[in-house]
Amino acid sequence: EPTPTDTESDSPTDEPTRQADPDPQPEDHPGIQLPDGYHLSFADNEITPQNDTGDDLSYACSFGDCSIQASETKLVLLDHAEAGSLDTCMHDTRYTETIDQARLSPGSQVCARTPEGTVALVTFKSASKANETSTYVVLDITLWRNALPPDNGDQ
């Protein structure tokens, strides 16, 4: 009539599960209109354009040439054959700080890695037409917060 002790047999199998961090859940932010001279901060709960350039991703135009820019965030323009995913964005290291809008077409994807460890997949949807009163791009953004350890100033 011995009774098995659940606590002893469960303890070793529970421990490794607690140590393994699952991939962070993706957050979708579709249809963001980012005007010239504005930026997005991926740390914000609501991803909305802020009125200056800087932070994680900005859009800026000068003398008719526009680009997506980042100061501390690492950007990678994916090849059309590459499938944008958390795994792709975590391992592709062709970093740049500026991507000219002329290199983007609808469906182009850009990976962004912030110093705080957030990974973003930015999909270019469209840009404003020449006859519109404002200059902007439309982006779909998928975020994975805390996907990487923070940089702590290391480059």
Task: Confirm whether 98 is domain-assigned.
Answer: yes
In angstroms, how far is the first alpha carbon of the chain from the final one? 63
pTM: 0.82
Q: Is 128 exposed, middle or buried (0-12, 13-18, 19+ CB in 10 A)?
A: middle
Instruction: Give the position of tokens 């994975």.
Output: 144
Task: Confirm whether 152 is domain-assigned.
Answer: no
Q: What is the domain count for the chain? A: 1
Parent domain of 122 = 27-144
- Give tens-digit pLDDT for 132-152: 999 999 999 999 999 999 886
Task: Confirm whether 100 is domain-assigned.
Answer: yes
Q: Give the rounded percent of residues in the chain with a pLDDT score beyond 70.
A: 83
Task: Confirm whether 16 is domain-assigned.
Answer: no
Task: Confirm whether 2 is domain-assigned.
Answer: no
Instruction: Give the position of tokens 């009125």.
Output: 51
- Give tens-digit pLDDT for 10-38: 444 444 444 446 788 999 999 999 999 99
